[in-house]
Amino acid sequence: MDRSKQTAKARKWFETLRDRICAEFEAIEREAGSDAGFAYKKWDRETEDGSEGGGGVQGLMKGKVFEKVGVNVSTVSGAFSPQFASQVNGASEEHPDFTATGISLVAHMANPHVPAVHMNTRFLTTQTAWFGGGADLNPPLPYEEDTEAFHARLRAACHAHNPTYYDRFSKWADEYFYIPHRGVHRGVGGIFYDHLECGDDVEFDRHFAFTRDVGEAFLDIYPQLVRKRMNEIWNEDEKRQQLEWRGRYAEFNLVYDRGTLFGLKTGGNIDAILMSLPPEATWS
């Protein structure tokens, strides 16, 4: 088992998935009569001792359909702080070293009838190694048929690998994407999984295949939903609902999101970490 080769293999996939997603989103902008495209910004992770810490590329587009969409890929390594190491699977104060590679995407849409969305998949190594990730739909104005279509596609991806995955991971998403102080869920769910451990090459291949299929499922279903709703007529009351919902989304990401905490605790790029925040939001 060569962890560095596994990380490189996962990284290559995440970068390929990013390129395909960004191309599809730009194609949607063209269909809407917009010439918007992604701008890419490379960043390097700063370490306290000046050692190589990796980095990533932040992709950002602001267009006619996608009011703000970020697609980031990063590969970082180093050592967790003693206080944070005990909170990470396979790490400890005595063994704080880690490597992480992944893709993270958040899209906030101009039309309130088009659902916002979040997707990320990642591969981490400490004293062990595992895959995690998922995707969840966040519509300001939910449509039952859109919710069912999104879940059906993820359900199919899960069932192709393990008949228990969808029930387990959709329940995990419902529990995770919840705002306790508001008593509401962030959206209409999806799947969330973590700690699919890779004790050997066989387990790596199996969990990597599942993670790839999660990415393929997202790339298949989400553009369908965007194209279905992007020409809907909306009114000021619906826009108000969208902006208030975005406030709830921001609260979750700033207070509860583990990815935000991981990025901040590991010296990640602040702009990339906070790209999930909406371009505009209101609180009543």
Element (H, E) at 119: strand 116-125
Is there a domain that residue 283 lies in? no
Distance of CA 177 to CAs 72, 82, 182, 225, Å?
21, 28, 12, 21
User: What 8-state DSSP symbol labels residue 115?
Assistant: P
Is there a domain that residue 236 lies in? yes
Is there a domain that residue 142 lies in? yes
Alpha-carbon span 284 to 273, nearest angstrom? 26
Nearest-5° Cα angle at 184, 183 to 190: 140
Is there a domain that residue 51 lies in? yes
pTM for this structure? 0.93
* Residues assigned a catalytic role: 118
The per-residue pLDDT for range 90-138, each reduced to its tens digit, is 656 666 788 899 999 999 999 999 999 999 999 998 888 999 999 999 9
Q: Which residue has the higher pLDDT, 80 or 238?
A: 238
Beta carbons within 8 Å of 1's beta carbon, 6+ residues apart: 198, 200, 201, 204
Structural domains counted in the chain = 1
Domain range enclosing 145: 3-276
- 88 burial class (0-12, 13-18, 19+ CB within 10 angstroms)? middle
Is there a domain that residue 182 lies in? yes
The per-residue pLDDT for range 169-181, each reduced to its tens digit, is 999 999 999 999 9
At 187, which CATH number?
Answer: 3.40.1500.10
The per-residue pLDDT for range 193-247, each reduced to its tens digit, is 999 999 899 999 999 999 999 999 999 999 999 999 999 999 999 999 999 999 9
Residue 154 has pLDDT above 90, yes or no: yes
Is there a domain that residue 114 lies in? yes
Q: Which amino acid is at 205?
A: D
Is there a domain that residue 281 lies in? no
The per-residue pLDDT for range 2-16, each reduced to its tens digit, is 888 999 999 999 999
Is there a domain that residue 147 lies in? yes
